[in-house]
Chain A
Amino acid sequence: MSWNLDSNRPIYPQIMERITMDIISGTYPPGSKLPSVRELAQEAGVNPNTMQKSLSELERTGLLYSQRTSGRFITEDLSMIEQTKNAIASEQVKEFLKKMEYIGFTRQATIQLIEKIEKEEQP
C-alpha cells in the first residue's frame, strides 16, 4: 500500500496522475513496457478494475499504447511527453504563485525572492 492516495478523491484520476508523473520523470522510460494491471494494482493497493480504468484512460490520452498480446507500453513520442511535462510544470508554477499571492507576495517580490535564494545557494 505504498501509493499515497487521497481518500476523498476518486482513485482512478489519482492513479493517472501518478503514472503520468512516472512517465515524465523518466521512471518509466519512453517505449518501455509497463508492469501488468495486476502487478500495478497490487503495488498501489487498489482494485484491479480501477487500475484497468486508469490505464485505459491513459491510453486514450496517448501516453500509453497497448500491443494486443504483449502488454502496455509508454509512448515513444518524445514531443508528447515533453508537452505533458510542460503542462504539469506550468500548473505547478501557477499554483505556487497563487499561494505566494495568498501570503502577500506580488509576482515581482516572488521573482526577487527566487533570485535571492538562487544566489544564496550558489557557492
Chain B
Amino acid sequence: MNPILECRDLTKRYGNKTALDQISFSLMPGKIIGLLGPNGSGKTTLIKLLNGLLVPTEGHVFIDGLAPGVETKRFVSYLPERTYLNSWMKVCDIIGFFQDFYEDFDKARAYDMLKRLNINPSDRLGTMSKGTKEKVQLILVMSRRARLYCLDEPIAGVDPAARDYILSTIIQNYDENATILISTHLISDVENILDDVVFIQNGHIRMIDSVENIRFNQGKSVDTLFREVFKC
C-alpha cells in the first residue's frame, strides 16, 4: 500500500518567516487524522500546500505519489478555512456547480444531508448565518466520493448538535479506503473519531501517534495532552 500523503523536507517560507520547516512524514490511506496545533503553527499552510494553493519553497509533497495539480484535485476534496462561493448563489445552484465540476460528486447525498440539517436548497448563501454557511460547505465537500478529504477547521462555527450530526455523517459516509485530514482546535469533540493525530508546532511536527496509544501510554485524553504540550 502506498501512502496517500507524503511530505519530504517540506519547507514554506513567507518572506523571512518560516511557516513550515523541513517537514517529513507520510500518511497511509483509510484513516481519520487530526492535524492539531496552536494558532500560527502551520496547519493551514500545510493544507494549502496539499491542495496546490501554495507551492513549497523547498522540498516536496506527494498526494498518492503525484505532485498537487489537476490530477490530484480529482480525488482530493478540500474544505478551505474561508469560503470561495458567491453569496448570491442558491444552494441548489452550487450543487449543480459541484456536480458539473467533480465526477465523484454525489448529488443525492448532498440533498439528503441538507434535509437532515433543515437547510432549504433554494436559499441564497448570503441570507444564511455563519454556522449554516459552514454546514453547506461541509456538505458539499463531504458529498464527493473522494480519496482524501482535507478539512480546515470544519466545525468551528457550528452548534454542538449539528457538530454531532456532522461527525456522525463523516463516520457513516467515508469510504474505508478514504483518508480524512481534519485540522481543528476542538479536539475533545473530534478525538473519538480520530485514528491518529499529528501535533504541529512552529512549523515542526511535534508528534504523530494514534489516539489509542496516547490514551494508553499517557492515561489522558488527546485534548488534555494538547493543553499540556502547548501550555502558554
A interface residues (Cβ-Cβ under 8 A, vs B): 1, 5, 7-12, 38, 41-42, 44-50
Contact = CB atoms under 8 A, between A and B. Distances in A.
B212 interface: yes
A5 B192 contact: yes
Interface in B166-198: 167-168, 171-172, 176, 188, 191-195
Contacts of B206: none
Contacts of B168: 1, 42, 45
A42 B188 CA distance: 17
A16 B232 CA distance: 37
B192 to A, nearest CB: 5
B219 A8 contact: yes
A5 B223 CA distance: 14
Given A41-B171, A47-B171, A48-B176, A11 B195 contact: no
B221 interface: yes
Interface of B: 30-32, 164, 167-168, 171-172, 176, 188, 191-195, 211-212, 215-216, 219-221, 223-224
A45 B191 CA distance: 10
Given A1-B167, A7-B221, A8-B215, A47 B172 contact: no
B167 A7 contact: no
Given A11-B211, A11-B212, 18 more contacts: A1-B164, A1-B168, A7-B192, A8-B215, A8-B220, A8-B221, A8-B224, A10-B212, A45-B167, A45-B168, A45-B192, A46-B171, A46-B192, A47-B192, A48-B171, A48-B176, A49-B30, A50-B212
Nearest to B224: A8
